[in-house]
Structure 1
């Protein structure tokens, strides 16, 4: 059996074919960059139709290479928090609002939850611009046409491809409207969003599977019999793909953005463990939750520096960063894109301090990257307050694969914890495949995890026998 794993990210769409052991098939990776529209006002949007076309191109490329043969299961890792208004005919009424968009705000006179602490415990979220409780009323005021329904980006994409596309409990938890214990739309959250539960997407039941529509089977006949599984939020999938599936291991994942997270077992209906103030909690699936903190800055800091500064490249840059960090000149607030919840700093809140005529472009980059390391270390301490002991940390994600120096900077900031590194850059797709096959526990024994200073090729993921 082969598994097609889709990673529906913010900067790119990727399709990756893995074997039954979640090992990537050689050469079976298709990637398309997507254009994220950003602005000084906090805009962070994607075009839904263009995004769907990029995914279709990835499937075309994999099919042309013969990689979709024997695919029996399709898994997806998708960005949390996105929202797209649709008209009565199902057509988009505007762009997709991504997690990066900081413009939504409560309407004049709107009141938040009656008991904010209880609301946080039930939903794992806050009344905040990142969640649908604030986003839906704000969007209605701006769309200028009657809204038939709201969906996330992945529900829109899969709704165009499959016979049906209900919302998984993982994706629903990222809206901030889901009761995490009952796995139902939360009544108070819906009232804040000014939406009835029956007007929200249907929730996918445990074990749900979808199928391609007939018109798409003609385009990709290799997928005619494939079962499509409920999507997993990208952060949750990254934890699983990093081998961090219980409270003994925290995942620090840096892609376009960054996050630190812990996974815990929590069957539907069970009372959730205490939720520390200042961190969120979402669903991995019907049996697990993920708790953590996220940041709008990550690999995009490096991308900004590459565009803006005259930096050396490759080994020369790594050596220059090491020299700069030994005598760190620049201190930085890396909140270029504003805060993720519960913070409310707007886009454009980044700062550089300690600049002098002797400061170099590498000093600026070292300050920014080190600043993010420190934010993560502080929030991991908060996360650990809800578990029994300090955790081991596994670094993962494309930005971690690109810089050995940054991995070392994280190890220093997170000391004295043991810090390891998952060399596979496709942790989201791998994690989604493991969730889809019901093998979350086995992810604790993923291969490819080693010391932060160990070199290693990408895509080395194998599942070792449990120890």
Structure 2
């Protein structure tokens, strides 16, 4: 049996084929970049129709290469928090708001939760611009036509391909409208959002499976009999794909953005552990929760520096970073894209301090990368506060694959913890496949976790770019 794993991210759409053990098949990867529209006002949107076209192109490429043979299961890792208003016919009424969009704000006079702490413990979220409790009223005020219902980007694109596309409990938890224990839409959160269940996606039951619509089964006959499983939020999938599936091991993932997270086994209806006030909590699936903190900056810091600074390349950059580390003069606030919840700093909140006429472009890059390391270290301490002490940490993601120096900086910032590195760059897709096959616990023994000082970490998927 083969597994088709989709990674429906913010900067790209990827499809890759894994074997029954969730190991990527060499060369069986298709990738399309997507155009994220950003602006100084905090805009962060995607075009839903263009995104769907990118996914279709990936599937066409895999089919043309003969890679979809023997695929029996389709799993997906998908971005949390996105929202798209649809009209009565199911057509988009505008662009998709992604997690990067910092424009939404509560409407004047909106009351907020009656008991914010109870709300936080119940939904794992806050009354915040990142969540549908604030986003839906804000979108409704700006809609040029009546809104029939709201979906996430994932439900929109899968809804175009499958016989049905309910929202998984993992994706629903990222809306901020889900009761994490009862796994039902939270009454108070829905009241704040101004919606009833009829305007929200149906929730996928345990062990849900979908099938391609007939016209798409004719286009990709190799997938005609494949079962599509409920998508997993990208952060949760990355934890599983990094081998971090219990409270003894935390994942620090740096792709376009960054996050630090812990997974715990908490079945539906089970008592949720206390949640620290500065951390969020979402669902991996019906059996597990993930707790952590996220940051708008990650690999995009490196991309910004590459685009705007005259940096050296390759070994020359590595050597310059190593020299800079001995005398790190620049201190940075890396919040270029603003705060993720619960913070409310707007886009454009990044800062650089300690500049002089001797400051180099490499100094700026090192300051930014180290600034993110410090944020992660502080939040990891919060994550550990309910446990037995420091956890082991596994680094992962495309940005970690691309910079041995950044891995070493995390080792320093997270000391005295043991810090290791997951070499597989496709942790999201791998994690989604493991969740889909019911092997979350087995992920603790994943191969590929090794030392952080490997200068050129091998890519286990031939032709797969980092990030």
Which category of TM-score, normalised to the shorter sequence, fits these structures? Answer: over 0.9
What are the ranges of 5 or more consecutive residues in structure 2 without an aligned counterpart?
463-467
Structure 1 match to 2:420: 420
Q: Deviations over 1:75-103 (max 9, x none)?
A: 00000000000000111000000000000
Aligned to 2:451: 451
2:96 corresponds to 1:78: no
Give the conservation status (yes or no) of the 8 Å contact 1:239–1:263: yes
Residue number in structure 2 paired with 1:146 = 146
Q: CA deviation at 1:460?
A: 7.8
Contact persistence 1:6–1:429 (CA under 8 A): yes
**For the residues of structure 1 that align with 2:387 and 2:236, how far apart are their CA atoms?**
18
In the TM superposition, what whole-angstrom CA distance separates every residue of 1:10-41 from its partner, at most 9, and x where no partner exists? 00000010000011001001000000000000
- 1:181 maps to 181
Measured against aligned partners, the alpha-carbon deviations of 1:196-250 in whole angstroms (never above 9, x if no partner) come to: 1232110000000000000111111110000000000000000000000000000
Q: What is the SS of the residue equivalent to 1:192?
A: helix
Q: Residues of 2 paired with 1:322 and 1:221: CA distance?
A: 52
Q: CA deviation at 1:187?
A: 0.3
For residues 6-85 of structure 1, the aligned pairs below 5 Å read: 6-85=6-85
For residue 127 of structure 1, report the CA deviation from its aligned partner: 0.1
Partner of 2:237: 237
Offset of residue 388 of structure 1:
2.3
1:397-440: CA deviation from partner (whole Å, max 9, x where unpaired): 00000000000000100000000000011000000000000000
Instruction: Report the counterpart of residue 464 of structure 1 in structure 2.
Output: none
Contact 1:242–1:427 at 8 Å: present in 2 too?
yes
Equivalent residue number for residue 285 of structure 1: 285
Q: Deviations over 1:167-194 (max 9, x none)?
A: 0000000000000000000000000000
State the 1:457 CA deviation: 1.2
Does structure 2 retain, via aligned residues, the 8 Å contact 1:187–1:197? no
Q: What is the match of residue 389 of structure 1? A: 389
SS of corresponding position for 1:425? coil
For the 8 Å contact 1:373–1:409, the answer to whether it is kept is yes
Alpha-carbon offset, residue 322 of structure 1? 1.2
Normalising by structure 1, we get a TM-score of 0.98
Structure 1 spans left out of the alignment, 5+ residues: 462-467
**3-state SS of the aligned residue for 1:72?**
strand
SS of the equivalent of 2:337 reads coil
Q: 1:447, 1:460 within 8 Å by CA — same for their partners in 2? A: no
- Quick one: distance in 1 between partners of 2:374 and 2:361? 20
Q: Hey, what's the Cα distance between the residues in 2 that align with 1:99 and 1:460?
A: 28
Match of 2:213 in 1: 213
Q: Structure 1 residue 329: deviation in Å?
A: 1.5
1:2 & 1:317 partners in 2: Cα distance? 40
Partner of 2:465: none
Root-mean-square deviation over aligned CA pairs: 0.9
- Asked if the contact 2:25–2:461 (Cα under 8 Å) also holds between the matched residues in 1, the reply is no
User: Distance in 2 between the 1:98 and 1:174 partners?
Assistant: 12
- Check whether the contact 1:448–1:460 (CA below 8 A) recurs between aligned residues: no
Residues 68-147 of structure 1: pairs in structure 2 closer than 5 A: 68-147=68-147
Deviation of residue 290 (structure 1)?
A: 0.1
Contact 1:4 1:74 in 2 (8 A): yes
- Tell me the distance in 1 between the aligned counterparts of 2:372 and 2:147: 39
User: What residue in structure 2 maps to residue 354 of structure 1?
Assistant: 354
Q: Which digits, 9 at most, give the CA deviation of each residue in 1:307-352, with x for residues without a partner?
A: 0001111121111111112111211000000000000000000000
CA contact (8 A) 1:88 1:147 kept: yes
TM-score normalised by L of structure 2: 0.98
Does the CA contact (< 8 Å) of 2:88 and 2:147 recur in 1? yes
Please give the residue correspondences for 1:398-417 in structure 2 after superposition, counting only pairs within 5 Å. Answer: 398-417=398-417
Distance across 2 between alignment mates of 1:459 and 1:395: 16
